Structure 1
Amino acid sequence: MPLSQKLGPYSLLACAMLVSACGGDSNNNDQGTPTSSAFEICSENITYSIADTNSQLTFIVEHHYAKDKPGSIIANLNQQDSIGKTFLWQQISGPSLELTAVNSQVLAFTPTSNQDYAFKVTVSGDNISIEEMVSITADSADNILRINSDHQMVNRTDASLRIQNINGQVPENISWCMYPSDNNKAFTNVDLSDITRPLFVAPNVDTDQLFSLKATASFDGQTISDDVNLLVTKEKAAPADAYFSYPVARTHAYKHDSPYANQLASCVYSNQFVEPCNIVNVLPFISQDTNPDPIDTIMDRVLVSHDWMAANFEAYLRAQTHNDFVELLQSVTAIVISYDIRPAFYAGYIGAIYLDPEYLWLTSAQRDTINETPDYRSNFGEELNYLSPYRYVKNNDYAGQYIEIGNRTNRTMENMSSNLARLLYHELAHANDYYPQSIHANIQGPTLKEEYQRRYEANAMTSDQLNIRYPLTSTEMYGLAN
């Protein structure tokens, strides 16, 4: 069957000139990502069940689905890779499930009861239009191991998995292995320093490939295990002068009827992106649109890997009693929210902000879709031999509650808001420093690259004026920075 970085393109100079703050904020305390060899190979093989249809689409289904156990169904186009095609899943019958990756080839879900479930997938693109249905049955099971979660990922990108706690306890004697495959490919840079959360890098594949891992553990005197399926997709190689020199996650416009839906990804988040898009007639600032609802106008510019990210972002904007963020967002061209963005950053030549979805999840199922690879800046301060603790407070208490990721706990919009607000103020300060609304009518273009260079050479940015008026003079601080 045919299913047989992040900021890498930005040099230090580019970080100074093109990506403001290179991510801005970080709330990850991980001390870096030590690497090791690939996963050990399992001693046994894995087999899949194949559900045929009347079209060229088949479904790869698991042999066993159980209540409260993560599972998946994979839509497979025989003899074809998935690049250039779109997938859309819907649940047709059974108790309603939270589906957090409906635009993926891999439908991940957790049955909530031992009943029958049916799903429909629509596949389109490249002269293909297919609609098929598939059904599964979940039964009951005790003391099951649960891995979050089956998913699709592009080749050569970072990834993570996580074993759930059982009744608030971490399973013991955890081990991982990868089932043998005939493609001679393997995950690399495997980090098992936290055995409940392996980190790794997907291989460079020549065609879409399905990989399966197995975790084994002991709990309550029993040996338990679970499998997880990872579909690694083939992507186009990046041109030598691409802004993003490595494959980035597959993304789509949240609003399919947006006037910018067809150009958002190619203009702001693609490894084929070489030159910025025209700021006047292709992707202008949000302030230059005339939609009567300002939040609808903003959502026209949202590009996501998972729809829940945009839905939560929109709900947050509409819940605000002030219009700070609606106003500040007028100085961006797009908002990108994707599972592979960490840390958040602002790109001056593109005019877009890129948000880490860790700031936006509300349910544990949503959190499962986020890559846990640590912020690459996590260990930058080790050689300085000191810590810089900080906290954000409201009414003399922590402004946001930390929720341990091993526990299946949802969070409220209020708890999400405090962390998201500080991130947005930070990144949007960059956007409004580079291109305040007062200059939008006079932008010459043709792209923001030329506009940025003009403003940079003229010291026209607010931050330039701040530095001229109040220059930094501390020798000690310059020494620490060096």
Structure 2
Amino acid sequence: MQKSLLNTKQKSLICSSLLLALFGCGGGSGNANNVPSNPTNPTIPSTNDPAPIAKVSSNNGFDFYGDAVGKVGQNIGLGIHHPSAAKLVDIKWTQTSGPDVDLIADHTNVIGFTPDLVGTYSFTVDARMCSSVQDNSCGSLSAANITINVDNQSSNASIRLDHTAVERGRVSFRVDPLNGKTIQSVDWEQAIGINNVQAIDIEEQENRLFFDAPVVTQDSILKFTATVTFSDNTSSTDDVYVGVRNTEIDDANGYFPRYSDNIVSENMFAYETNSPYAQAVERCVYTNQINRSCDFSELPLIGMQTMTPSIDDIMDRVLVSHAWMGERFRQYLTDSAVGPDMLNLLRGVTAIVISYEVRPSFYWAVTGAIYLDADNFWLTPLERDTLNEIPDYRSGFGSDLQFIMPWRYVKDNDYYPLGRYPVVERGSRNFADLEADISWLMYHELGHANDFFPPARWSSLSLNNSPLETINLPSITPDSDALASVYPLRSDEMHQLAQVNYGGDTATTGQKNTTADDVTDLFIPDLSTGFYNYYTTREDYATLFEKFMMKYRLDADSDIAIVSNNNNPDYNVTWGQRNRFNAPALQDRVLFTVNRVLPEIDAAAIQATLPAPQLMTAGNTWFENLTIGSAAKSAEQLQWTSAQMSAQMRQDVRIPTSHKDNDLLTNKK
């Protein structure tokens, strides 16, 4: 169990020990930028004489906790608990009266919703009680009812969002201002939870709260109260509830707890409940008990079953934490210009996992599945509210280096995706931005999948072997190994710097003294499309494929630059280039990957139609270099404030992928 959410060195050591089985991508829109104007220093929420959590109702042996009375426009939380059950399963909340509300997580112990109207709201909850953490100890369904009233008292703060986590799982809350208020500071207080349970190792970051759910021996519910002070010296309070699920965790042999230092959500379900693979998807790819790789006879690659999968075939392999995630994934496959590519590329996976707490996204060769951060899929503010906001643990890597290498996608000389969606504004996102946000990530992750299990290999795979057994065969090597042999990257210095920036290695004195000019001299003559290519051969391979496909299918240009960290507040570019992947010296490397990952397209003919690289203007800012060539922007478009530049640059230097090998792979280090 991690001792600190921001213990990046511990995380980096774990990451380094896992560098082959998991290949992950950051992704996500990264625009959750509603923060206090003058945030206080991080503090531990007050626990001085905390009050115990109080029941609001009981019915049919079940106890309810949460908001006894709700307010219009403020989030309401309700949780169900049974005092004699070790855990509850097969939970289903149903609204029976009152103005309609969206129960976006109606399968969990604790729900959150925001009423728009005054009224009386009633709900029925069905659940099965279990005498232990074992699912075979669970009885038949029972039902309980609860009613609450919502009045028209005003509130100026609302915490997003009451939900359920697994014990030792990651939890985040965010308090939002209402009615045009601006947050000055936030004070958090924790109540004593059911069975005297409390969270520890809690951190505040501005208007957000992060912690690991405590260990429990029975399902529990925790309560936190935020007291918010606004810039006009007024204040407001709100309560939030989190259910903590009692679960079986195999620390000794479980793949996720042991090899990826991750306790995963227990609120997962097959999106298509009638899928012939529903049980296998729920059992084989994302639990805290997985300690073996399921045979292909139980959960084959999609390409082992059909070379022309339909959207329905793909959706039969989708596992989600919330139903809306499956809906958005189907919409993406149906409506996106890249949909046909994705159907072909998804043949190389066993399953698609989309969850509120996956961060970063990744591909895992051990299960043959891809794992996607749901932050890439939201369209409505309520969908966004369900997402875990704990920062990517790698965000502090490379802070001792004197340079950064930002990257981005650009279309029509502007950011792609174009939209900006501050959380405080609670706006909906358009589909075009969803498509832009997820497509590069999908191309990248599926580049990994089709590296380990390329189309040329599917027909020869044995149903009696698992993905893990298959990739450990001496005769099986990822195609990225061949790329590194035939077209290697040359700079040892860049490889070592990448281990600092992406793997969390401690920088040497020489690396700390490496300047942007030094990096330019190393990078330009080499064959890489970006800094991350140097991290591993797997990332090099997937990134080459990603850049090519984004330009071909979506006409999205890819930018890379080298920028000094020293006294450079405007982020003036030392060197930069657009569409470097199509430089003559790199074209053979790109064809090597595309021909193997997606043989259905004529990569060479397409490559001949793609534009040549364009250099950025050295000395201009990273943002001024959005415009390259004859296109011109208005003065207004080129005016970035310091705050806007800093926020965007944090996004542009984000680590695109996380890459973890582990001891499960015997010959693929």
TM-score after normalising by structure 1: 0.89
- Structure richer in helix, relative to its length: 2
- Give the Cα–Cα distance (whole angstroms) in 2 for the partners of residues 227 and 446 of structure 1: 50
Matches within 5 A, 1:307-322: 307-322=323-338
Number of the residue aligned with 1:387 = 404
Residue of 255, 260, 263 corresponding to 1:247: 263
Matches within 5 A, 1:408-447: 408-444=426-462, 445-447=464-466
- Deviation at 1:461? 2.7
- Give the Cα–Cα distance (whole angstroms) in 2 for the partners of residues 458 and 469 of structure 1: 19
| Residue 52 in structure 1 maps to residue 63 in structure 2 | no
- Structure 1 contact 291–297 (Cα < 8 Å) conserved: no
| Residue 262 in structure 1 maps to residue 279 in structure 2 | yes
Residue of 16, 21, 25 corresponding to 2:19: 16
Residue of 93, 99, 102 corresponding to 1:98: 102
- Deviation at 1:378? 0.7
Structure 2 counterpart SS, 1:262: helix
Number of the residue aligned with 2:302 = 286
- Structure 1 contact 37–188 (Cα < 8 Å) conserved: no
| Residue 41 in structure 1 maps to residue 47 in structure 2 | yes
1:298 is aligned with what amino acid? I
Structure 1 counterpart SS, 2:87: coil
Classify 1:132/1:242 alpha carbon distance in 2 versus 1 (closer, same or farther; 3 Å).
Answer: same
| Residue 200 in structure 1 maps to residue 211 in structure 2 | yes
Number of the residue aligned with 2:365 = 348
Give aligned pairs, total: 467
1:122 is aligned with what amino acid? D
- Deviation at 1:293? 6.7
- Give the Cα–Cα distance (whole angstroms) in 2 for the partners of residues 111 and 380 of structure 1: 42
| Residue 222 in structure 1 maps to residue 200 in structure 2 | no
- Structure 2 contact 53–222 (Cα < 8 Å) conserved: no
- Deviation at 1:122? 2.4
- Give the Cα–Cα distance (whole angstroms) in 2 for the partners of residues 100 and 182 of structure 1: 24
- Give the Cα–Cα distance (whole angstroms) in 2 for the partners of residues 256 and 182 of structure 1: 33
Classify 1:118/1:288 alpha carbon distance in 2 versus 1 (closer, same or farther; 3 Å).
Answer: farther
Number of the residue aligned with 1:399 = 416
- Structure 2 contact 368–467 (Cα < 8 Å) conserved: yes
Number of the residue aligned with 1:448 = 467
Residue of 136, 139, 164 corresponding to 1:127: 139
- Deviation at 1:390? 1.9
- Over residues 135-182 of structure 1, what are the superposed CA-to-partner deviations in whole Å (9 max), with x where a residue is unaligned? 322111223321112111111122111111223433333211112457
Structure 2 counterpart SS, 1:146: strand
Structure 2 counterpart SS, 1:45: coil
More deviation in 101-110 or 119-128?
A: 119-128
- Over residues 65-114 of structure 1, what are the superposed CA-to-partner deviations in whole Å (9 max), with x where a residue is unaligned? 1111101221223311325x111222233322222111111121111111
Classify 1:26/1:418 alpha carbon distance in 2 versus 1 (closer, same or farther; 3 Å).
Answer: closer
Number of the residue aligned with 2:549 = none
- Give the Cα–Cα distance (whole angstroms) in 2 for the partners of residues 275 and 409 of structure 1: 43
Matches within 5 A, 1:130-141: 130-141=142-153
Residue of 232, 243, 252 corresponding to 1:231: 243
Residue of 481, 484, 493 corresponding to 1:467: 484
Residue of 338, 355, 360 corresponding to 1:338: 355
- Over residues 449-482 of structure 1, what are the superposed CA-to-partner deviations in whole Å (9 max), with x where a residue is unaligned? 121122xx44643212211210121133123134
Name which one, 1 or 2, has greater alpha-carbon Rg.
2
Classify 1:383/1:472 alpha carbon distance in 2 versus 1 (closer, same or farther; 3 Å).
Answer: same
Classify 1:163/1:352 alpha carbon distance in 2 versus 1 (closer, same or farther; 3 Å).
Answer: same
Residue of 191, 206, 220 corresponding to 1:179: 191
- Give the Cα–Cα distance (whole angstroms) in 1 for the partners of residues 128 and 196 of structure 2: 31
- Give the Cα–Cα distance (whole angstroms) in 2 for the partners of residues 450 and 293 of structure 1: 25
Identity between Structure 1 and Structure 2 (%): 32
- Structure 1 contact 67–112 (Cα < 8 Å) conserved: yes
- Over residues 168-211 of structure 1, what are the superposed CA-to-partner deviations in whole Å (9 max), with x where a residue is unaligned? 433333211112457454322222232x1111121112222221
- Give the Cα–Cα distance (whole angstroms) in 1 for the partners of residues 31 and 92 of structure 2: 36
Classify 1:47/1:186 alpha carbon distance in 2 versus 1 (closer, same or farther; 3 Å).
Answer: closer
- Give the Cα–Cα distance (whole angstroms) in 1 for the partners of residues 98 and 445 of structure 2: 42
- Deviation at 1:413? 1.4
Classify 1:103/1:41 alpha carbon distance in 2 versus 1 (closer, same or farther; 3 Å).
Answer: same
- Structure 1 contact 42–179 (Cα < 8 Å) conserved: no
- Give the Cα–Cα distance (whole angstroms) in 1 for the partners of residues 426 and 52 of structure 2: 29
- Give the Cα–Cα distance (whole angstroms) in 2 for the partners of residues 182 and 332 of structure 1: 41
1:103 is aligned with what amino acid? H
**RMSD of aligned residue pairs (Cα, Å):** 2.8
- Structure 2 contact 28–437 (Cα < 8 Å) conserved: no
- Structure 1 contact 164–170 (Cα < 8 Å) conserved: no
- Over residues 288-342 of structure 1, what are the superposed CA-to-partner deviations in whole Å (9 max), with x where a residue is unaligned? 3469971111111111111111111111111124401111111100111112210
- Give the Cα–Cα distance (whole angstroms) in 1 for the partners of residues 278 and 439 of structure 2: 26
Structure 2 counterpart SS, 1:244: helix
Matches within 5 A, 1:296-315: 296-315=312-331
Structure 2 residue ranges without an equivalent (≥5)? 33-40, 130-137, 500-669
TM-score after normalising by structure 2: 0.65
- Deviation at 1:435? 0.6
Structure 2 counterpart SS, 1:325: helix
- Structure 1 contact 235–247 (Cα < 8 Å) conserved: no
2:314 is aligned with what amino acid? I
- Give the Cα–Cα distance (whole angstroms) in 2 for the partners of residues 140 and 214 of structure 1: 21
- Give the Cα–Cα distance (whole angstroms) in 2 for the partners of residues 352 and 182 of structure 1: 36
Structure 1 residue ranges without an equivalent (≥5)? none
Classify 1:411/1:12 alpha carbon distance in 2 versus 1 (closer, same or farther; 3 Å).
Answer: closer
- Structure 1 contact 157–247 (Cα < 8 Å) conserved: yes
- Structure 2 contact 29–376 (Cα < 8 Å) conserved: no
- Structure 1 contact 48–60 (Cα < 8 Å) conserved: yes
Classify 1:313/1:150 alpha carbon distance in 2 versus 1 (closer, same or farther; 3 Å).
Answer: same
Number of the residue aligned with 2:166 = 154
- Structure 2 contact 25–360 (Cα < 8 Å) conserved: yes
- Give the Cα–Cα distance (whole angstroms) in 1 for the partners of residues 99 and 105 of structure 2: 18
- Deviation at 1:404? 1.6
- Give the Cα–Cα distance (whole angstroms) in 2 for the partners of residues 137 and 222 of structure 1: 26
- Structure 1 contact 37–189 (Cα < 8 Å) conserved: no
Structure 1 counterpart SS, 2:201: strand
- Over residues 273-298 of structure 1, what are the superposed CA-to-partner deviations in whole Å (9 max), with x where a residue is unaligned? 1110011x200011234699711111
Classify 1:24/1:199 alpha carbon distance in 2 versus 1 (closer, same or farther; 3 Å).
Answer: closer
- Over residues 356-390 of structure 1, what are the superposed CA-to-partner deviations in whole Å (9 max), with x where a residue is unaligned? 11101111111111111111111112122322222
Number of the residue aligned with 1:210 = 221
